[in-house]
Chains A and B, each alone.
Chain A
């Protein structure tokens, strides 16, 4: 049973390689459990973007500046992140692929800092369209004292809502993924895009 179900998933991945590209975004605020879902995708050999390009670019900018990014630095950072997302998008030619955040996350980023979306972002959003957007509902960690150490839950929630709003602004109708285990969420996502679920 396990083998046949996983065979079906492998067959679906292979068959999709001869078909036009389908792109699915997985997004959400910090503490939404995104990395766990991405890890599940990787574990089952489902094509996906492993790391969010923003992380490395952010590290590079901080290193170059020798300090925290200020308002005047954030445009340059955002432009570079946008370029990376576009390259990822264009690089994918066949089959389905999951993305660790997408171009419209930049709307949330800009709003986060009180900036208006750039012309480049607006243009990229019109040209590069994803097939489905999955928003991971925040994991309820309100009672988790660990969370309070690095950021208040209130601000985590604000960031999350701004990211969701960004996708609406970009003209998407996101699918909300309930706050459950990574396995459940992966199954939920795959069912939504009609890809066979892995058997565990």
Chain B
């Protein structure tokens, strides 16, 4: 198992599932615990996450799937009977379902109710928690890298696999551009702080602007391909937030950002970018000014 089971004694999942036992499956619209309907495992699977009925349908599917894959073979049939999933058990009373469940695992009903049933509900709650973890939103973080395998890996001939590989490719491009900008911004900060030659600072500022444009273009391309609401790892991040991960940059208007992005997309090389942006003197000044100002301040501090 990828994670250790949490202590579910106080978790709402167990009590929510226990309350579902009264009526069994399927859960009716209006009867579902709002907490269960807010699980990411449910939201991600719902056709329309804003619609309660759609979320209830997704919750029913999640629970059915988990019950069909219940990971304790001895009690699998019992837990399915208990929740009303076994043939002929849907719509029956809890007493009837409990009797069937006790029979399926060879226990006396009383013993089953007191000793076995709570453990089955707890186990199902743990499975539900694990399933939800798979869909948990993760903060933007660079993909973890591992050593390449000794043998050449085989990508399955499968469109979903191809799409996942394509996503990894685009994600890697975004992070490559992001770290490239970060490196240039760090260099620029250091040069300004050290009071480097003005022309050298301007040159480094232009390099940073080029990397900024390329990153903006890569982020836009990524979000075009994997918009919000989809599965993309960065789908819920805004372009501004992603760019801000690289480091501090001057606040620019939409028009200026668009120009840098366009130049970054059409000119992946620095020389081409410089030629494309040559006429944008005001933009160039606005971009470089904070570091040049910082350099002057540092100069004065040093002189004093």
Q: Quick check: B68 and A30 within 8 Å, CB to CB?
A: no
Q: Is B262 interfacial (CB 8 A cutoff)?
A: no
Q: Quick check: A169 and B61 within 8 Å, CB to CB?
A: yes
- Interface residue from A31, A145, A155 paired with B147 (Cβ < 8 Å): A145
Q: Is A66 interfacial (CB 8 A cutoff)?
A: no
Which of these binds chain A: B160-168, B207-215, B246-254, B267-275? Answer: B160-168
Closest CB in chain A relative to B248 CB, distance in Å: 30
Contacts known (A149-B153, A154-B134); A161 close to B45, Cβ less than 8 A: yes
* 0/1 string, A135-172, CB within 8 A of B gives 1: 00100001001111111101111110111110011000
Set of chain B residues within 8 Å of A162, measured between Cβ atoms: 44-45, 231
Closest CB in chain B relative to A107 CB, distance in Å: 8
- Interface residue from B149, B151, B163, B227 paired with A114 (Cβ < 8 Å): B227
Nearest residue, chain A, Cβ from B68: A176
Q: Quick check: B154 and A58 within 8 Å, CB to CB?
A: no
Q: Quick check: B231 and A113 within 8 Å, CB to CB?
A: yes
Q: Quick check: B228 and A114 within 8 Å, CB to CB?
A: yes
Nearest residue, chain B, Cβ from A149: B153
* 0/1 string, A165-187, CB within 8 A of B gives 1: 10011000100100000000000
In whole angstroms, what is the CA distance A157 to B162 when docked? 15
In whole angstroms, what is the CA distance A164 to B58 when docked? 11
In A80-111, which residues have CB < 8 Å from any B CB?
109, 111
Closest CB in chain A relative to B227 CB, distance in Å: 6
- Interface residue from A69, A145, A155, A164 paired with B164 (Cβ < 8 Å): A155
* 0/1 string, B105-148, CB within 8 A of A gives 1: 00000000000000000000000000100110000000100111
In whole angstroms, what is the CA distance A70 to B222 when docked? 9
Q: Is A34 interfacial (CB 8 A cutoff)?
A: yes
Set of chain B residues within 8 Å of A149, measured between Cβ atoms: 148-149, 153
Q: Total number of A-B contacts with CB less than 8 angstroms? A: 120
Closest CB in chain A relative to B173 CB, distance in Å: 11
Q: Is A71 interfacial (CB 8 A cutoff)?
A: yes
In whole angstroms, what is the CA distance A55 to B135 when docked? 27
In whole angstroms, what is the CA distance A70 to B168 when docked? 15
Set of chain A residues within 8 Å of B279, measured between Cβ atoms: none
In B192-241, which residues have CB < 8 Å from any A CB?
224-231, 233, 235
Which of A149, A152, A154 counts the most B-chain CB atoms under 10 A from its CB?
A149
Q: Is A128 interfacial (CB 8 A cutoff)?
A: no
- Interface residue from B2, B160, B224 paired with A71 (Cβ < 8 Å): B224
Q: Is A40 interfacial (CB 8 A cutoff)?
A: no
- Interface residue from A31, A145, A173 paired with B161 (Cβ < 8 Å): A31
Q: Is A126 interfacial (CB 8 A cutoff)?
A: no
* 0/1 string, A106-130, CB within 8 A of B gives 1: 0001011110110000000000000
Q: Is B65 interfacial (CB 8 A cutoff)?
A: yes
Q: Quick check: B225 and A151 within 8 Å, CB to CB?
A: no
In B162-194, which residues have CB < 8 Å from any A CB?
162-168, 170
Q: Quick check: A30 and B156 within 8 Å, CB to CB?
A: yes
Q: Quick check: A112 and B159 within 8 Å, CB to CB?
A: no
Kindly list 16 other residue pairs between chains A and B, CB separation below 8 angstroms, not including A71-B227, A155-B164: A30-B158, A31-B161, A35-B157, A35-B158, A54-B159, A55-B159, A58-B162, A71-B224, A112-B160, A146-B154, A147-B153, A150-B165, A155-B167, A155-B231, A157-B134, A162-B231
User: Nearest 6 A-B pairs (CB), nearest first?
Assistant: A114-B229, A114-B230, A168-B61, A30-B161, A151-B164, A146-B153
Q: Give the interface of B toward A (CB within 8 A).
A: 2, 41, 44-45, 47-48, 57-58, 60-62, 64-65, 68-69, 131, 134-135, 143, 146-149, 151, 153-168, 170, 224-231, 233, 235
